[in-house]
Amino acid sequence: MESLLLSFYNLSKASINQKTVSEQLKISQKHLARSLKRWQAEQFLTYTSGRGRGHMTEIDWQLNIDDHYFQQVTSLFSTEPLDEVVHYLTWDWSETSKQSLLLQANQLLGIDRKDNDRLIIKKRYAPLTLNPLAANDINSFNVLSNLYDTLVEFKEGRYHYQLAHHIHVTETEAVIYLRKNIRFHDGQLLTALDVSDCLKTAKSSSYMHGLLDPLHSIETINNYQLKLSFTDCPYILDILSTLNLSIYKVADESYIGTGPFYIHKNTDTHSILKAFDNYYGLRPFLDEVEMIYIPDQKHDEFSLPAGDQLTAHTVTDGFYYMLSLRDNRLTQAQRETTHYIMQTYLRQTSERKNIAKAAPTILKQSRYFSRTPELTSGFTVRLVYPSYIRKLMNDVRQLLKRHHIEVELIPVTIDEAIHSRLDYSADYYLHGAFLNGAEHYEYFSLLFQHKAMQHHLPAQYPALKDIFESYITSPTATWSRRHIIVDRALEKRHLLIPLFNNQKTLYVPQKLHSARIVLHGFYNWDEVYIE
């Protein structure tokens, strides 16, 4: 079977312009010409090249490719392992065939207890990285949090020790006492030297954006103790609790953690996580978690054995915002107009189910204009956005056009959105964010660790550099009030504008217990058990 042939067939055209079709299929004209000759030789079609009006190529199909391939894939579903067949779901099928194949896949997904306790999940995106230091997207976070552990964890308003048995913190140092007999997934014991190497790598990495610069030294005392010396680092426990500072090692170009699961298999189409029998904590009830990646999948989905029920959970967490870019050319009046229209009307007029209708909030404060400003029109706003929210951006375009504002949309890849400075000639960048963990640290991290924020905000609001110094020289207990002042100052200047709160309805099987439901599903797979 050939995905290109299926894509070409489902263009459903009897007459084609080879230049136009090659662009649609994202191949060269020479590639298309060679393929047509081969497909004719294989008796899939016949064609007459360039003799119609406008040099059109006439196609006469000898076989229904969509139906032919559908029958083959259906047969494979019953004879081959699912992980070896699932990539066919990403091909360009007709809508009827696609829905039927998805239905067949659904019947094979879910909780499989024939040999062990296994949970299989359909997801839209695979993790972008298995390196915890580089992780900066929710899909990576969800998976990697099951593979790696941190020294300390912030949960339910409190710090809980994980790999660390205890951490003694003063204004200038932190002495870390490690738990004993913790093993990596390769069976080797965790030592203070492993932790030291990990922290030194993080300190020199651009991923931390200088937040570990206050560390003067990382000293190993013995196999289970090490000392961090620093100046002006009141957030030391907070940063040690972030996934980016998970403890791992690298062997044979693979990342090896200490978490409750380890990677058994990982490809572009699926991943298999297996429970780590020598986990120092409580061994997971689940033996395996298998994730199948389907690009058209709208949200994580759990299929079930016949007769089980789903429970709906509506979760509101995270928010979408507009970040003013340093090349923003809008006048103050145009910025205020864009700000007001986007913040006031987008959540009211969009039909997107993930947009909460309530006023947007960051740090639990509502956002609204106390009065309607004098609106202007007749200008163009240039908006950068990650390509996966293109449908939302169509709503944005229509909304602004109704107010006589032209829109230039500039899509970027997910990788660019997460890891680049977004150094585009544009006015605003739209994206989503969530404050996970200790809110006082997460907002600080959003401002000072996010690469795009760091590149664009200080250039437009120079006081942010002094504000950073005020943060790191004051106890974290005082940060909440500081956050509110900074947040209001940024919004008042139309630099960081919350647009709407993100919400989602999740359907979780009733037979799955102890799942902590968050916006992007649940990922505490080590705590889940099956009834």
In whole angstroms, how far apart are CA 310 and each of 107, 111, 293, 302, 451? 15, 13, 22, 9, 40
What is residue 304's predicted lDDT score, i.e. its pLDDT? 46
Is the distance from CB of 492 to CB of 317 less than 8 angstroms? no
Task: Supply the DSSP string of 53-112, one letter for each residue.
Answer: TTSPEEEEESS-HHHHHHHHHHHHHHHS-HHHHGGGGGS---HHHHHHHHHHHHHH-SEE
Angle between helices 463-472 and 439-448 (to 10 degrees): 140
Say which residue the tokens 């089980």 belong to: 308
- Mean pLDDT, each 10-residue run in order, the chain (531 residues): 88 83 86 90 86 72 89 83 75 81 66 67 81 84 91 88 96 96 95 96 87 93 97 93 93 92 86 92 88 72 58 78 95 96 86 75 65 93 92 93 96 83 92 76 86 90 92 89 89 90 78 74 79 77
End-to-end alpha carbon distance in the chain: 41
pTM strictly above 0.85: no
For residue 484, give both structure tokens: 């509110």
3-state secondary structure of 486: helix
For residue 15, give both structure tokens: 């007459």
- Give the strand order in the sheet containing 215-222: 164-169, 173-178, 225-230, 215-222
Cross-strand partners of 290: 120, 272
Candidates 493, 116, 127; CA nearest to 339 is: 493
For residue 63, give both structure tokens: 């076989």
Task: Supply the DSSP string of 331-388, one letter for each residue.
Answer: -HHHHHHHHHHHHHHHHHH---TTB-SSPPEETTEE---SS------S-EEEEEEEGG
What whole-number distance in Å separates Cα of residue 219 and Cα of residue 226? 6
* CA diameter of the chain: 83
For residue 31, how many C-alpha atoms fall within 13 Å in the half-sphere facing its CB? 11
CA 161 to chain CA centroid, nearest Å: 27
3-state secondary structure of 148: coil
Q: Kindly give, in sequence order, each residue whose CB lies less than 8 Å from that of residue 263, ignoring residues fewer than 6 positions away.
A: 130, 147, 254, 271, 272, 273
For residue 48, give both structure tokens: 């007459």
Neighbours of 80 (CB within 10 A): 11
3-state secondary structure of 468: helix
Neighbours of 61 (CB within 10 A): 15
